């Protein structure tokens, strides 16, 4: 009998301990981080834009701690790398937005890993833009779930294909609505456990595609097509954020969820931006100062915070605010502003740095900027510009000639910082190849090429392809880093008409090669693209996919080079990618 009593008491105690542990886990605050793409400081009504309608964001701002001077990077991928790591983007290996320069070092410790380490379920929905190859993929960088796309932009926002947890799937509907549906499902599924959700909207980045219900109201006021499309996309974002906030209230999660809203750079065009100088791509205020709203009822005090803050501060701030253990080994550049969010006095004096690069050939210390207190020094190819933002927030008077000692001091401080953070091997960006990935994608827009070959659209942005292959001196190649040995089946993604087939092609990798004859024609079909204004990006179309054989790869750095002979007079057709798929043991 005593044994039965002891066992019963033990079970009661064990149940109580488990219950307490579950309650403690459940009571951890959730976090929803919302980042929009190319939405500037002036693209919200609360910042005095007379034309835009953003009632949800305006209310969110009033109920939040609102950073008056919150800085990000001038371009998309750099901001995302700093936001995820708490470190300046150059320190993470992310330099720009395409040709591999957007890739973040796999060894970086991300927000996803921070929350995973602290018992959270993590998900990202939308645009990643920090590397599309394992181990740079979001599912290898701290996220349990991923629905979205990996590169810098997407070609079509309606009824498109997205990746979901490693597989391509069709998603009917408007892309920002789809992403919102996905995060709502994620919230519902994880209502009883702490979660971290990173919602990275693709809008209002071009192409300018938006449903009539959001576009027409702006067009009817007399706005030009592009501006009506941009504001329509922002209104759609506003609508979808409203859906998320309603979901939190419905599930009684709103009091225990931190909601953060910000944008990734200045506006992608000349439009209302609160009188600031510069747009996306600029190190001036208009290119890097963005909205930043933080809401957590009962803990974050609704207020306007005038302390300059930046994307690098998000990780350390959340870590302190939520009492999270940080296991990353690399030093953080950001600081915690948890005290400011809670309404406590916080004396902060430091420099905040900016840098922008558009290509490997242009990479150097300039353009850049340093902000210290109220001073801004912009270091440009055309010279130095110094502004006192307290007295001159719109940068109308360059004080550089009047304060040479200040310029000298700040420029030296900036250059010391740049030398510290600049990546040492900018030109060597091999694509990792591993049998742990279901497919390795070698896209044309990450290739180098010789001869007369060129990009179809011209810039080599995401979704562009290679065309004008007409001579035997033409070739395309990729630098790859094979991480583990294995056998791979190789596929070519291409188009070719009947008079463009017959060429003998060769893929050389290390000391081995693979030969085949391009014998099958493939005529692409254009995919409908409901753009409101002519797009800058390459259009979307279908591609042929053929297997060209199997190769055995050993570990190490290699070059994949594709050449051709017996090329038809009209040329070879167009190339979109080479794809490698690991061969399973049963397939050999």
CATH number of residue 83's parent domain:
3.40.720.10
Same domain membership, residue 509 and residue 397: no
Same domain membership, residue 532 and residue 507: yes
Predicted pLDDT of residue 26: 60
Rounded CA separation 242/261 (Å): 12
Rounded CA separation 496/458 (Å): 20
Rounded CA separation 190/123 (Å): 11
Sheet with 309-310, side-by-side order of all strands: 289-290, 70-71, 309-310
Sheet with 121-127, side-by-side order of all strands: 167-174, 158-164, 145-149, 121-127, 195-200, 30-36, 257-263, 292-295, 65-67, 303-305
Domain count, the chain: 3
Of 315, 347, 379, which marks where a domain is finished?
A: 347
- pLDDT exceeds cutoff 60 at 494: yes
Same domain membership, residue 273 and residue 396: no
Q: What is the pLDDT of residues 8-21, one digit of tens each?
A: 555 555 554 444 44
Same domain membership, residue 398 and residue 323: no
Q: What is the pLDDT of residues 241-294, one digit of tens each?
A: 999 999 999 999 999 999 999 999 999 999 999 999 999 999 999 999 999 999
Nearest to 292 by CA among 276, 313, 278, 322: 313
Predicted pLDDT of residue 14: 52
Predicted pLDDT of residue 20: 43
Give the pLDDT mean for 173-178.
Answer: 98
Rounded CA separation 113/288 (Å): 26
Q: What is the pLDDT of residues 534-572, one digit of tens each?
A: 999 999 999 999 999 999 999 999 999 999 999 999 999
Rounded CA separation 547/516 (Å): 10
Same domain membership, residue 314 and residue 220: yes
Band of the pLDDT at 528, cuts 50, 70, 90? Answer: confident
Boundaries of domain holding 501? 431-587
Q: Read off the CATH number of the domain in which 466 is found.
A: 2.60.120.260
Q: Is residue 409 classed as helix, strand or coil in its secondary structure?
A: helix
State the pTM of this model.
0.94
What are 531's two structure tokens?
A: 């753009």
> DSSP letter string over 19-54?
HHHHHHHHTSPEEEEEEESS--TTSSGGGT-SS---
Rounded CA separation 280/285 (Å): 10
Band of the pLDDT at 6, cuts 50, 70, 90? Answer: low
């Amino acid at each position: 009998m005593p044994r039965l009593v002891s066992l019963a008491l033990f079970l009661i105690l064990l149940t109580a301990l488990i219950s307490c542990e579950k309650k403690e886990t459940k009571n951890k605050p959730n976090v929803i981080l919302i980042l929009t793409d190319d939405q500037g400081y002036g693209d919200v009504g609360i910042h005095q834009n007379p034309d835009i309608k953003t009632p949800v964001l305006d209310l969110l701002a009033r109920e939040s701690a609102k950073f008056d001077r919150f800085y990000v990077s001038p371009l998309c991928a750099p901001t995302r790398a700093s936001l995820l790591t708490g470190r300046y983007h150059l320190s993470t290996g992310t330099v720009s937005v395409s040709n591999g320069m957007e890739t973040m070092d796999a060894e970086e410790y991300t927000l996803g890993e921070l929350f995973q380490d602290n018992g959270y379920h993590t998900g990202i929905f939308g645009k990643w833009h920090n590397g599309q190859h394992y181990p740079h993929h979001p599912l290898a960088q701290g996220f349990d779930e991923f629905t979205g796309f990996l590169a810098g932009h997407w070609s079509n926002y309606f009824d498109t294909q997205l990746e979901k947890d490693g597989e391509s799937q069709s998603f009917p509907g408007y892309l920002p609505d789809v992403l919102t549906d996905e995060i709502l499902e994620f919230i519902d599924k994880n209502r009883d456990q702490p979660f971290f959700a990173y919602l990275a909207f693709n809008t209002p980045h071009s192409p300018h595609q938006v449903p009539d219900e959001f576009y027409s109201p702006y067009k009817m006021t007399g706005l030009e097509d592009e501006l009506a499309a941009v504001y329509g996309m922002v209104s759609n974002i506003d609508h979808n954020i409203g859906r998320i906030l309603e979901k939190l209230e419905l599930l009684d999660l709103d009091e225990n969820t931190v909601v953060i809203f910000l944008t990734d750079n200045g506006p992608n065009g000349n439009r209302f931006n609160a009188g600031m100088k510069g747009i996306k791509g600029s190190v001036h205020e208009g290119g890097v100062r963005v909205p930043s709203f933080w809401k957590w009822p009962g803990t974050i005090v609704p207020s306007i915070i005038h302390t300059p803050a930046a994307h690098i501060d998000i990780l350390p701030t959340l870590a302190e605010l939520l009492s999270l253990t940080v296991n990353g080994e690399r030093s953080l550049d950001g600081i915690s502003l948890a005290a400011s969010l809670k309404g406590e006095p916080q004396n902060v004096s430091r420099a905040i740095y900016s840098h922008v690069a558009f290509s490997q050939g242009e990479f150097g210390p300039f353009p850049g900027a340093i902000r210290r207190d109220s001073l801004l020094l912009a270091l440009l190819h055309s010279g130095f510009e110094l502004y006192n933002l307290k007295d001159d927030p719109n940068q109308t008077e360059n004080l550089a000639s009047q304060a040479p000692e200040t310029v000298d001091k700040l420029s030296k401080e900036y250059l010391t910082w740049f030398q510290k953070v600049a990546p040492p091997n900018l030109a060597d960006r091999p694509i990792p190849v591993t049998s742990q990935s279901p497919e390795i994608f070698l896209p044309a827009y990450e290739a180098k090429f010789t001869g007369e070959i060129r990009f179809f659209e011209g810039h080599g942005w995401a979704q562009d392809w290679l065309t004008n292959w007409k001579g035997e001196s033409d070739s395309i190649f990729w630098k790859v880093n094979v991480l583990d040995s294995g056998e791979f089946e190789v596929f070519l993604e291409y188009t070719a008409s009947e008079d463009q087939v017959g060429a003998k092609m060769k893929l050389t990798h290390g000391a081995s090669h693979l030969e085949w004859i391009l014998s099958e024609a493939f005529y692409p079909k254009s995919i409908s693209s409901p753009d409101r204004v002519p797009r800058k990006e390459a259009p979307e179309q279908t591609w042929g996919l053929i297997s060209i054989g199997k190769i055995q790869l050993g570990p190490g750095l290699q070059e994949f080079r594709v050449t051709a002979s017996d090329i038809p007079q009209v040329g070879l057709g167009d190339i979109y990618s080479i794809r490698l798929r690991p061969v399973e043991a049963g397939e050999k």
